[in-house]
Amino acid sequence: MLGWALLFFIVAIVAGVLGFFTLASAAAGIAKILFFVFLILFVVSLIFGRRRV
């Protein structure tokens, strides 16, 4: 998940440099959403991963 967020971030940077601002903003938005989903899943896995039954 973090790899995909990084990929979309790089696409956003390249598109912004080349002047494709609409594509850059869309890719940045997708990267932001993927990063926050990664953070939420990471925290949940830290909390519930420590439980041993």
Residue 2 has pLDDT above 90, yes or no: no
User: What confidence tens digit (pLDDT) does each residue in 3-52 have?
Assistant: 888 898 899 999 999 999 999 999 999 999 999 999 999 999 988 887 66
As a whole number of angstroms, the distance between CA 19 and CA 22 comes to 9
For 8, the token pair is 């979309």
As a whole number of angstroms, the distance between CA 13 and CA 23 comes to 10
